[in-house]
Structure 1
Amino acid sequence: MAWRDAKASYKRLSLFMASIVLGIAAVVSIQSFSENLKTNIELQSKSLMGADFIIDSRNPPNEKVQKIIDSLGGADAKEINFASMGLFTKNGGTKLIRVIGMEGAFPFYGDLETTPATAAEKYQESGAALVDATLMLQFNVKPGDSIKIGNITLPIGGSLDAAPGTGGFSSGIAPPVYIPYRMIEQTGLIQTGSRLEYQYYFVASDNTDLDALDKKLDPILDAEDADMDTHTSTSQQLGRRYDNFGVFLNLVAFIALLLGCVGIASSVHIYVKEKLRAVAVLKCLGATRKQSFLIFLIQIIGMGFLGGLSGSILGIGLQELFPYLLSDMLPFDIETTIYPASVILGIVLGIFMSVMFALIPLLSTWYVSPLRVLRIDESANKKSRKANLVVAGIILVFLYLFSFWLLNNWKYALYFIIGILVTFLILMGITTLFMWAIKKFFPSSWGFISRQSLLNLFRPQNQTMTLILAIGVGTFLISTLYFTKDMLLSKLSFESGENTPNIILMDVQNNQKDAVANTLGHVIDNIPIVTMRVHSIKGKPANEIRKDTTSKINEWVLNHEFRVTYRDSLIGSESLASGTWIPEETYDGVNPVSISIAESISRDALLEVGDTITFNVQGVLMTTKVANIRTVDWGRMQLNFSIVFPKGILENAPQFNVLSTHASDEKSSAKLQSELIQKYPNISIIDFRQVLVLIEKVLNKISWVINFMAIFSIFTGIIVLIGAVRTSKFQRIKENVLLRTLGATSKQILKITALEYLYLGVLGSLSGILLSLMSAQILAYFIFDLTFLPSSFPFLVLFPGITILVLSIGLMNSRSVLNSPPLQVLRKENAG
């Protein structure tokens, strides 16, 4: 019976199936790609690092660290790297670069890809430089040209196309340049304030247990301000980083799937409602509740299976796009394979979600009375209402469990479900309020076409609620993502006034600062910086805290080399959270020095006002006490500090300076940088304009990928829209028969239909955008702590675009209803 009825209604049932295909495809593609990503990271982990494990430090290895290196057979290769300025002698172009001095046959896994290929083998012996390929294109230099780094000028041996450990956002700011290790000293760039990183690469024997070695040596090295990373631990960190992004995309895909399920519930509701008289006839002929219920349940299971299978196949094909979409964000090439588990997940999800969301309308077949043949009873009995509540509860529990599986955090899963429910409830509330307002304040003075189009929004078997949900949620997703990206960019932007710094000069030595200031002409900030490390917190030495497994102090505080400054006032990005600001103080060598700390230090080091912390200031121990805690806006494009001393304490400590100025345009900025680097090669220069361009590119790439997934919600909404029109086709035909009988022309009916979908498009897209404004305002206040100024893009582009799309889809799918002769259509429907 299920098969026979399905054959007669295959068009409607196929639309149920189509409602979830895109949602399933999105979930399966992301799940499958995530598995491929994990496998590729595991397989290529050695190539990503270039060795089996690394020992790295910010300082030259002390005696204890050197003994560990020697006990491991000595490093197979070593490097020293730091940020500095590079000057291309051919055209005077300058750029902040990452200088990598290498000694040894690195990499031991993977390749140092260069053009020409022989440059990777010859650069150390010939004393040449390997320059990032993109950087060479940007400054129009070729192999054979020269690059000046500090006090030395090296020939460019070749372009660096790819290398282990390079790539990502940091390489965009400071592209890598490889030079021989032996030439680092000659650059003259290792001075006070230079942020150096020493790395020692090792190749392990086949029987080496890297996890055991890491567990044994890493705590010892941490105590000596060094660190150990194995290729396995690094791949796990990299995998977790991309897992977080994958989880977010999964949630977006899950929302698309939920939209499809809302379409199923609505379509099945109308479909079953039309079948209730047939069910009553079956019961009159002796069919049991179970039999009549199973007829339709089997149909839904079959459609869920086909939808899940189709979605899984589409998802497997779709995952082939992700390596291209994410190519600029991944440090390696991805080889994709089919994971059976992802296909099984898609099929199970298709069946389970279809059945769950169709169950409430299907329950009406269980409680229908045989007397339905003789009378129309639209009211649901108490048993039916109780059953619906139970099913709704089961749906919520499943959604929560599935979200928990995706997020692996019960709180986040709960927040996600609450967020989805609130979004759906708000959109449902808006729709209900809109229909109530139409009924309450119906414009009886309007013309026939306008009045009839409004009446269609709350006619029997209307699809207003379903379509507003589908259109609204899709629009809400895309608008929220757009507003969030705008907020991030506005938070990172800076003003263009003459007193707003956009050029920062790092590592300016004390004996250079006056001469550099004269070259700049207009100095906005001159900030002294002193480096120091934590020796003890509240009287407990840092080494003891590291060994204390019960300590909740974050280890980065103990291992970090702090760069602190001293001044007598707060700056624009700071505000006092607690305590008293101390502008100036005298150090007597006995009493603790008052300092100001940022909230992040207070939180991670468990410090409050009045607590003491002892610093090692380049060999001299200095005890301080927390005088106040500051709230710092780290997103402001200016120099912010975790720790600030009052004036009168650090003036005589070894220090360097950071100067800032304002360049009116790119040309004057390039000229200034070129002049500075030729006079003071040790100075590093950061051009905020270039940083902002890179940040915007990264945000654009991420938002493009997320929007690509959010489009699934829009397409799912379109399918739900098509399904709603098709499913309510018979109801619309009857309306059109009555309208034509009363004298309405086809043109009038077309206008009525167009206005109806125009209302739906306007209400759905506008509701989504307004809801996204609310969510963006919440994000701005609670997360980004800024004033939210909405962009006009969603209103000028998204709002009319989606409205026109809804109108077009509605008219295209109503065409057969509008053009078919009423008697012919009715005979056909009755015959079916």
Structure 2
Amino acid sequence: MIQHIPKKNIQLAWLFKMAWRDAKASKVRLLLFMASIILGIAAVVSIQLFSANLQGNLQSQSKTLMGADFIIDSKQEPTVRAQAIIDSLKPDASEVNFVSMVAFPKQGGTKLVKIQGITGGFPFYGDIEAEPATAATTYQTSGGALVDATLMMQFNVKPGDSIKIGELTLPIAGALTSMPGNSAISSSVAPPVIIPREFVAATKLIQFGSRREYQYFYKVSDTVNLKRLEDVVEPMLDLENADLDTHTGTSRRLGRRYQNVGNFLNLAAFIALLLGCIGIASSVHIYIKEKLKAIAVLKCMGASRLQSFLIFLIQIAGIGILGGAIGAGIGVGLQLVFPYLLQDFLPFTLQISISAIPILIGILLGLFMSVLFALLPLLRTWFVSPLDVLRVSEDGAQEPRLVRFSVFGAIVVFLFLFSYWLIRDAVFALGFVGATLLTFAVLAGVAMACISLIKRYFPKHWSFTARQSILNLFRPNNQTVVLVVAIGLGTFLISTLYFTKDILLAKTEVGAQSENANIIILDVQPDQRAAISDAIKAHQLPVLSDIPLVTMRMQRINGDLVNTIRQDTTRQVRGWVLNHEFRTTYRDTLIDSEVIIAGEWTPRLTPGEPLVISISDNLAEDANLDVGDPVVFNVQGVLMETTVGSIRQVDWSQVQLNFTVVFPAGVLEDAPQFNVLTTLVADEATSARLQQDLVSNFPNVSIIDLRQVFTLVESILDKVSWVINFMAFFSMFTGIIVLIGSIRTSKYQRVKENVLLRTLGAKNKHILQISAFEYLFLGLLGSVVGILLALVSSLALALLVFKEPFVPSVIPFLVLLPGITTLVLVIGLSNIRSVLKSSPLEVLRKEA
């Protein structure tokens, strides 16, 4: 008995069979088309999965990062009112911490460390990990110190040895491996040493000018509304120069710390996907254009519009699904590399979780973007007439204008929704989409303007090959607009990525010139200046600078009390200005990192003259100050009325002591102050001898060895730079693949013409010259316009998104411009290789 098979199933099977047969015949073109999808999806999935893991870790580990539910901290001893608020909330533990030099008497070594005097059961979440493990819980009762394990290894110190902190000597209870709240960066620059808080006073290191922080730790039930606590208590603490941090607020701040890197990675993902979309649109446009006659033949044989449309829709959708799956798989593999690269940059161990969701997103995104960006050329299959078999023109019938605009609208909506999904900001998303559409319009306009100009001023007296090349740019079936837009957009996106990469990497360059100080000696009291200066010179080292520091706070700004400004919800003054303890200096000269941009520099004042100060440009902006505005400072209880005399642009990236507020000489010499001395050491041994000498004789001073800081920061920033460079060049590689695909696919437009030229007697060198000039013009025009547009977009990104200055690199002009032009030329010439090597008839049969 013969089973009845529904006609609908037979038709569906026939459609899939036709799509598969046609795909096999065009596999090279479709593989290049699929490469665009794979690379775009791989970039998106890897970046999004990494971002999701980072955010998930920040949220899940936010309590462990702090070790408490919330913390109240103050950079000075809390005021009476602040202490009353702290006590009313009943802290469960407290800490006073400060940076100081310590010595190991047995080994004779010295090191800058962070002393943490703790009382109570902190941390409440996570654990202090120490060796032996019991030391983490017994150090307070035994009266010992927990010393950073790396520091102990460096100085060959063991539990039971002693550590000298100021005038206090304690036994080492154990090696500190990890502790909530301590990051790899801070621990490497100033390793932690934990002692019972009751011993802090015995060190005698808390003196005038000492930098210290008081912290109070709280553990609460999950029913407590931390957001409400922030809203109610934090403004009250702000008035007392104290802060309240919750574990949820900490996770938000940590997220913002990596915002610029995250913005760049999202930009790379957006560009990679957009490059893939360009590759799809340009490849399918040319691919479908050459299939129009075959579609017309199908319709002559009885195929319906829907059937001819579905054959190629199934092809494109299948490639989108396959490319999305492969790209998602690559993306999952790529994001596994990020935790290793950023392990020193993150304050916690990043736990990677992989689910089916990114794979599913990659597949759906591959399907959606391939179909959407191929839809416009695919629609031409719907409107092809059977009579097109007999027509000479290959343009065929055009889709209605309403249909075309509807597809364009869907593409714009897709790009907006995708960019909004990446950056969660509607304004920036609109800006990205607007910049892309404007670039597309400019490139298309430039291409059409060139066609019009060439038609109007056609060089009739040029040689045959030159005229033929020029004719190819505007004759029917030309590729000028398609290739200029594809090449230009690809170059634009690649160049934009390169420029923005440089914006971020400019902030990751750390270095010291041979003549700059690399040892900084802090907290030098006035009566110690001469003795410490002599001690430096005794080691045959120069005293490069002796800088006085005076601490003060702002009392009034433009006549308004700071406390009044704090309570004003419409204030234009940033919060940090109102709470900041300014470390100011006085001198009669500018330094090399400063430039006056407003007002006049006053080097010195005589008694009785009005007090004028110089402030940095960032302080002027954040405090809403201009030249001539009054500011009253509170200098250790003494009010000092001043006027802004000048505004300086300060290069904070230079590794030296820069100041937001500088007084002229002749004003602060008698104010309570301490000094910072700097010197230059040639090697590690000299540095160790100097530090040991100074710490043994002046235990209150702190010494920063910038050589160690340079090494540490460079190692971390090298990894961050690697991630930025990797994602940049990965997306650039995507762009190159897209360009190759677009140009490679265009070969099928020129094969017949070149065969006809050979049939008419043209030699191989003539065909080479014709093709070379055409592709050289297209590559040069597209890449020049693309790079120029990238300059404009990168400037906007630098100022609006990354908030960094923009200094354009010449690399895109020296490398990308000739490189992309050469690439276009090489691929274009490789397109006609089969025409040059074989007979015309053989070529026609092969291409058919």
- TM-score bracket, shorter-length normalisation: 0.7 to 0.9
Q: What residue identity is the alignment partner of 1:524? A: L
Q: CA deviation at 1:14?
A: 5.5
Counterparts of 1:256 and 1:114 in 2: how far apart (Å)? 46
Q: Is the 8 A contact 2:130 2:176 kept in 1?
A: yes
Q: Is the 8 A contact 1:6 1:13 kept in 2?
A: no
* Residue among 576, 581, 593 paired with 1:556: 576
Residue matched to 1:716: 734
Deviations 1:753-792 (A, max 9, x none): 9999999999999999999899889999997669778689
Residue matched to 2:663: 645
Q: Is the 8 A contact 2:71 2:216 kept in 1?
A: yes
Counterparts of 2:566 and 2:753 in 1: how far apart (Å)? 77
Task: Output aligned runs, 1:718-757, within 5 Å.
Answer: 719-720=737-738, 723-724=741-742, 727=745
- Unpaired runs of at least 5, structure 2: 1-13
* Residue among 374, 381, 384 paired with 1:365: 381
Q: Does 1:4 pair with 2:23?
A: no
Q: Percent identity?
A: 56
Q: What residue identity is the alignment partner of 1:273? A: K
Q: CA deviation at 1:167?
A: 0.9
Task: Output aligned runs, 1:189-268, within 5 Å.
Answer: 189-242=205-258, 245-268=261-284
Q: CA deviation at 1:195?
A: 1.0
Q: Is the 8 A contact 1:503 1:662 kept in 2?
A: yes
Task: Output aligned runs, 1:276-287, within 5 Å.
Answer: 276-284=292-300
* Residue among 93, 112, 116 paired with 1:100: 116
- Unpaired runs of at least 5, structure 1: none
Q: Is the 8 A contact 1:506 1:684 kept in 2?
A: yes
Q: What residue identity is the alignment partner of 2:673? A: Q
Counterparts of 1:587 and 1:341 in 2: how far apart (Å)? 72
Counterparts of 2:146 and 2:152 in 1: how far apart (Å)? 10
Counterparts of 1:577 and 1:333 in 2: how far apart (Å)? 45
Counterparts of 1:226 and 1:820 in 2: how far apart (Å)? 83
Residue matched to 1:41: 58
Q: Which moved more, 1:458-467 or 1:133-142?
A: 458-467
Residue matched to 1:578: 598
Cα distance, 1:154–1:454 mapped onto 2, change above 3 Å:
farther
Deviations 1:232-286 (A, max 9, x none): 2222322343455334312201111111111111221122112111333345566
Deviations 1:18-52 (A, max 9, x none): 42122123223322332333232222221111112
Q: Is the 8 A contact 2:440 2:485 kept in 1?
A: no
Cα distance, 1:37–1:701 mapped onto 2, change above 3 Å:
same
Q: Which moved more, 1:701-710 or 1:25-34?
A: 25-34
Q: Which moved more, 1:579-588 or 1:185-194?
A: 579-588
Counterparts of 1:327 and 1:748 in 2: how far apart (Å)? 59
Q: CA deviation at 1:478?
A: 6.5
Q: CA deviation at 1:198?
A: 0.7
Q: CA deviation at 1:419?
A: 5.2
Residue matched to 1:632: 650
Counterparts of 1:452 and 1:84 in 2: how far apart (Å)? 79
Counterparts of 2:768 and 2:724 in 1: how far apart (Å)? 37
* Residue among 547, 560, 584 paired with 2:567: 547
Residue matched to 1:356: 372
Residue matched to 1:569: 589
Q: Is the 8 A contact 1:479 1:769 kept in 2?
A: no
Residue matched to 2:5: none
Q: Is the 8 A contact 1:87 1:93 kept in 2?
A: yes
Residue matched to 1:27: 44
Residue matched to 2:187: 171
Q: Does 1:67 pair with 2:80?
A: no
Counterparts of 2:750 and 2:395 in 1: how far apart (Å)? 23
1:614 partner SS: strand
Deviations 1:552-608 (A, max 9, x none): 2211111111111122333322222323333334566xx973322222222222222
Deviations 1:422-464 (A, max 9, x none): 7778988999999999x99999999x9x999999999966996
Q: Is the 8 A contact 2:485 2:782 kept in 1?
A: no
Counterparts of 1:587 and 1:196 in 2: how far apart (Å)? 35
TM-score (norm 1): 0.83
Counterparts of 1:201 and 1:286 in 2: how far apart (Å)? 80
Residue matched to 1:689: 707
Cα distance, 1:581–1:203 mapped onto 2, change above 3 Å:
same
Q: CA deviation at 1:617?
A: 1.4
2:658 partner SS: coil
Q: Is the 8 A contact 2:139 2:195 kept in 1?
A: yes
Cα distance, 1:800–1:723 mapped onto 2, change above 3 Å:
closer
* Residue among 130, 154, 167 paired with 2:146: 130
Q: What residue identity is the alignment partner of 1:597? A: I
Task: Output aligned runs, 1:148-547, within 5 Å.
Answer: 148-242=164-258, 245-284=261-300, 292-338=308-354, 342-343=358-359, 345-378=361-394, 388=404, 391-392=407-408, 394-417=410-433, 420=436, 465=484, 468=487, 472=491, 476=495, 479-480=498-499, 483-484=502-503, 487-488=506-507, 493-497=511-515, 500-521=516-537, 522-547=542-567
Cα distance, 1:27–1:682 mapped onto 2, change above 3 Å:
same
Residue matched to 2:721: 703
Q: Which moved more, 1:309-318 or 1:55-64?
A: 309-318
Q: Is the 8 A contact 1:480 1:775 kept in 2?
A: no
Cα distance, 1:144–1:300 mapped onto 2, change above 3 Å:
same
Q: CA deviation at 1:748?
A: 14
Residue matched to 1:617: 635
Cα distance, 1:412–1:205 mapped onto 2, change above 3 Å:
closer
Q: Is the 8 A contact 1:264 1:357 kept in 2?
A: yes
Q: CA deviation at 1:166?
A: 0.8
Cα distance, 1:157–1:424 mapped onto 2, change above 3 Å:
farther
Q: CA deviation at 1:197?
A: 0.4
Give the alignment's Cα RMSD to 1 decimal. 4.7
Counterparts of 1:419 and 1:689 in 2: how far apart (Å)? 44
1:327 partner SS: coil
Q: Which moved more, 1:124-133 or 1:509-518?
A: 124-133
Cα distance, 1:358–1:161 mapped onto 2, change above 3 Å:
same
Task: Output aligned runs, 1:817-832, within 5 Å.
Answer: 830=848
Q: Is the 8 A contact 1:531 1:617 kept in 2?
A: yes
Q: What residue identity is the alignment partner of 2:371? A: V
Counterparts of 1:9 and 1:142 in 2: how far apart (Å)? 74
2:527 partner SS: coil
Q: What residue identity is the alignment partner of 1:374? A: L
Cα distance, 1:321–1:661 mapped onto 2, change above 3 Å:
closer
Q: What residue identity is the alignment partner of 2:694? A: L
Q: CA deviation at 1:405?
A: 3.6
- Aligned positions, number: 819
Cα distance, 1:749–1:520 mapped onto 2, change above 3 Å:
farther
Q: CA deviation at 1:530?
A: 1.1
Counterparts of 2:185 and 2:717 in 1: how far apart (Å)? 11
2:72 partner SS: strand
